């Protein structure tokens, strides 16, 4: 029976990885599919056409997506996936959370020698892992976008000074800049070509990219469209300001790197130490769950709260707003 469960768990893990790979590589977002009905696709090497049967979502995930999209939580999940640039629907994300919870729950059950509490902890950890990955992708994409923002503003300034309109300058950004900048501004241009006002298209851009520096540039563009003025000079000044902010943030990040890494290491070390002791000397760790069990629960809860408060405190020390 244990061999059968292990084989089943490994098979489910392989199928999960294969499904994620096919979904992220072949499936396109619904917005891009709708826009491509009216606009030409960007020039480049054509990919092999995937049969319709491979792109068609599963019945269960499609049903789950329709149910989830009706809720505010589903809208928030869809927005988070869009910000992370993950080609997943809300139903597929929830299915992924369920599979991860089952896999980690089974692993925790066997790691804990059939203890139900370890299965519950593993299941909770499994539901947390997809969200952690999405937030990590969001931060990485936002950081990359902010690093490209000064170059984008300089490109727009040069285009405006040579006689381009604001829309033509954004179109040049969509063609010349690397990802993710070109993808976002290409979508902005496509929305304006379909009749969406520039203010609404830029507001949609801000919802996808919650960047304070981008908000500053978008506000300047909207004010210039209402009251007039030299947009090239305004964007040039903003570009210099953003470059200085990026430089200062880099220096602060380098100075506080030791505190940040220390907080992460000190926060994770007791957890890994407890797991290692559980595997090496299980009888010693089971003393926490012996009678009276309330004493062990109080000790574990107190240690967990101290770890959480210490981790939050170190992060607050390293978090310097600029």
Looking at 17-31, 129-143, 217-231, which range is the least confident one?
17-31
Q: Could you tell me if 76 and 10 lie in one domain?
A: yes
156 and 133 within one domain: no
Does 12 share its domain with 127?
Answer: yes
81: containing domain: 2-24+56-140
* Residue 51 pLDDT level (bands cut at 50, 70, 90): very low
Buried b (16+ CB within 10 A) or exposed e, 46-73: eeeeeeeeeeeeeeebeebbeebeeeee
Determine the average pLDDT of the residues in 18-45.
50
Tell me, what's the pLDDT at 50?
41
Averaged pLDDT for residues 212-234 = 87
pLDDT, mean over the chain: 77
Among 81-90, 110-119, 202-211, 299-308, where is mean pLDDT lowest? 110-119
Q: What is the mean pLDDT of residues 123-152?
A: 88
Q: Among 2-6, 75-79, 179-183, which is the least confidently predicted range?
A: 2-6
Q: Determine the average pLDDT of the residues in 129-148.
A: 89
Query: How many domains is the chain built from?
Result: 3
Tokens of 237: 């000044």
Asked if residue 154 has pLDDT above 60, the reply is yes
- Residue 37, domain member (yes or no): no
Q: Is residue 41 part of a domain?
A: no
With a cut of 70, say whether residue 17 has pLDDT above it: no
* 118 and 10 together in one domain: yes
- Which of 246, 277, 294 is where one domain is finished? 246
pLDDT band at 41; cut points 50, 70, 90: very low
Let me know whether 118 and 148 are in one domain: no
pLDDT at 93: 82
* Distance, CA of 157 to CA of 170 (rounded, Å): 10
pLDDT at 43: 41
38, part of any domain: no
Whether the per-residue pLDDT at 35 is higher than 80: the answer is: no
Q: Is residue 170 part of a domain?
A: yes
| Bigger pLDDT: 170 vs 119 | 170
Question: Which residue, 112, 140, 168, sits at the end of a domain?
Answer: 140
């Amino acid at each position: 029976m244990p061999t059968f469960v292990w084989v089943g768990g490994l098979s489910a893990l392989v199928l999960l990885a294969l499904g994620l790979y096919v979904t992220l590589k072949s499936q396109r977002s619904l917005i891009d599919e709708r826009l491509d009905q009216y606009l030409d696709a960007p020039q480049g090497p054509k990919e092999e056409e995937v049969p319709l049967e491979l792109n068609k979502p599963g019945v269960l995930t499609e049903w789950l997506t329709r149910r989830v999209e009706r809720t505010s939580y589903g809208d928030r999940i869809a927005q988070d996936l869009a910000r992370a640039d993950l080609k997943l629907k809300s139903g597929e994300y929830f299915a992924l959370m369920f599979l991860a919870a089952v896999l980690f729950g089974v692993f925790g059950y066997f790691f804990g020698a059939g203890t139900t509490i370890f299965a519950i902890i593993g299941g909770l950890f499994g539901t947390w892992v997809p969200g952690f990955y999405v937030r990590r992708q969001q931060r990485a994409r936002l950081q990359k976008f902010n690093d490209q923002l000064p170059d984008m503003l300089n490109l727009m300034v040069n285009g405006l000074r040579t006689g381009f309109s604001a829309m033509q300058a954004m179109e040049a950004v969509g063609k010349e800049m690397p990802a993710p900048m070109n993808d976002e501004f290409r979508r902005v241009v496509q929305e304006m070509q379909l009749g969406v006002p520039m203010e609404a298209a830029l507001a949609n851009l801000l919802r996808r990219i919650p960047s304070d520096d981008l908000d500053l540039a978008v506000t300047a563009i909207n004010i210039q469209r209402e009251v007039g003025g030299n947009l090239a000079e305004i964007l040039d000044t903003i570009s210099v300001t953003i470059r200085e902010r990026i430089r200062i943030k880099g220096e602060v990040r380098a100075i506080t790197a030791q505190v940040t890494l220390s907080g992460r290491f000190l926060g994770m070390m007791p957890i890994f130490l407890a797991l290692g002791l559980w595997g090496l000397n299980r009888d010693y760790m089971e003393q926490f769950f012996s009678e009276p069990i309330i004493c062990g629960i109080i000790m574990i809860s107190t240690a967990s709260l101290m770890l959480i408060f210490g981790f939050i405190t170190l992060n607050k020390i390293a978090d310097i707003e600029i």
